[in-house]
Amino acid sequence: MKSKFIRKIIILIGVFTLAFSSTVLAAEYKLLPLASLYKWSTPQDIKWIYIQDGVYDYHSSIVSGLNGWEEKTSKLNYSEGDDSSWDMRFWSDDMGSTGWHGWCNPVLKLVNLNDYYYSSFINDKAELVAHEVGHANGLDDVDSTKVLMRSSGYNHSKYPTSDDIEGINQLY
């Protein structure tokens, strides 16, 4: 009698746990290691510049990618600076067969866009920029296809998701 009661309790606990654990999702964001040490000191006034050494002009894609962040969070504001006053630098050139379309050094706030792969992301330039800016903002790649900061591929959207924004809220 006692063992039947215990089995029923264990089954109920298992069903209860399964029912509630499948509806509660953890946020899908990850902060870069030591991101709090090199986060933006003035996130409301981030100045950027663009240096085009390659064939393709990314200026409008940079503006669009930055607007994607600004439209989803009021914590970050970007404006174009000049050679003497900038916080983040974008640079485009043909860097060859590196395996990456874009790359960001989050400590130095340098975003590199690789012309070599231009044709493979021609329709997703603003998304590529927004993703790399996410690294400059302090976010790391995650193994999810749903967020802007996913480790690979494109979703054809320059907008950070609520999970990406949750990571920004954690930092700023």
Q: What is the pLDDT of residues 86-129, one digit of tens each?
A: 999 999 999 999 999 999 999 999 999 999 999 888 889 999 99
Q: Which two tokens stand for residue 30?
A: 């990850």
CATH number of residue 155's parent domain: 3.40.390.10
State how far the Cα of 86 lies from the Cα of 93, in Å rounded to an integer.
20
102 sits in which H/E element: strand 102-105
Query: Which residues constitute the domain of residue 86?
Result: 34-171
Residue 70 lies in a domain: yes
Going by C-beta distance under 8 Å and a sequence separation of 6 or more, which residues neighbour residue 120?
Answer: 101
In the chain, how many domains are there?
1
Residue 5 lies in a domain: no
**Whether the model pTM is above 0.85:** no
Angle at CA of residue 40, ends 39 and 46, nearest 5°:
150
Q: What is the pLDDT of residues 133-165, one digit of tens each?
A: 999 999 999 999 999 999 999 999 999 999 999
